[in-house]
Chains A and B, each alone.
Chain A
Amino acid sequence: MPSVPVIKVLVTHQEAARAKYGRAGWTKIRHAATALIKADRTRGITTRLFALDSTSDAKKVHGQAVIAPTDVAAIKAAIDQISTFWQPAYIVLLGGPDLVATVNLTNPLWTGNPADDPDQFIPSDLPYACDGPLTLSPADYRGPTRVVGRIPDLVGDTDLAAFVDNLSFAAQGKSLLRTSPEPVFTVSAKVWQRSTQLSVAGLPDTSCDVHMSPPDGPMWTAGDMAPAIHFVNCHGAEFDPNWYGQQSPNNWNLPIAIAASGLPGLVPRGAVVASECCYGTSHWPPSAAQGQASVATTYLREGAAGVFGASTVAYGPAASNAYADVICRMFVAEVLNGASLGRAVLVARQQFVQAQSFLDPTDLKTLAQFNLLGDPAAVAFVTPLPAAPALPGSRRVAAPKSIPTPATSPVVLMRRGQLASIGAALARSTFACADLPRRRAGLTVTALAGLLGRALPGRTTIRTFDAETPSKPPPEAQAIVDTAGTSPRAHVAYVARAGTRPPSLVVVREAGAEPEVRVVERK
Chain B
Amino acid sequence: MTQHVRGVVSLQRVARGSKSEQPAVVLQTSERSWVLRRVGGPPFGVDDELALWAGKTVDVTGYAGSGVFLLTELPTEVTG
Contacts and interface: CB of A to CB of B under 8 A. Distances in A.
A and B: partners?
yes
Interface of A: 112-123, 156, 235-240, 242, 244, 252-254, 276-279, 282, 284-285, 287-290, 311-316, 324, 494, 502-506, 520-523
Contacts of A236: 19-20
Contacts of A279: 66
A116 to B, nearest CB: 6
A284 B39 CA distance: 13
Main SS class of interface, B = loop
Contacts of A114: 12, 14-15, 24, 26, 33-35, 67
Contact of A520 (B14, B17, B32, B37): B17
Contacts of A312: 66-67
Interface of B: 1, 12-24, 26, 32-35, 37, 39-40, 43-45, 63, 65-68, 70, 72
Contact of B66 (A118, A287, A289, A522): A118
A242 B32 CA distance: 27
A454 B10 CA distance: 31
A324 B19 CA distance: 10
Contacts of B44: 235, 237, 244, 252, 254
Given A114-B26, A114-B33, A118-B35, A313 B70 contact: no
User: Max chain B CB contacts within 10 Å: which of A156, A279, A289?
Assistant: A279
Contacts of A314: 18-19
A253 B12 contact: no
Given A117-B67, A252-B44, A313-B20, 17 more contacts: A114-B34, A115-B13, A118-B33, A119-B66, A156-B1, A252-B22, A254-B43, A290-B39, A290-B40, A311-B66, A502-B16, A506-B17, A520-B17, A520-B18, A521-B17, A523-B17, A523-B18
Contacts of A120: 32, 66-67
Contacts of B1: 156, 285, 287
A20 to B, nearest CB: 12
A284 B33 CA distance: 19
A276 B16 contact: no
10 contacts: A115-B14, A237-B44, A238-B67, A239-B68, A282-B66, A313-B15, A313-B67, A502-B21, A520-B17, A522-B17
Nearest to B23: A252
User: Max chain A CB contacts within 10 Å: which of B12, B16, B17, B63?
Assistant: B17
A502 B66 CA distance: 23
Given A119-B66, A239-B70, A505 B16 contact: yes
Contacts of B65: 238-239, 282, 284
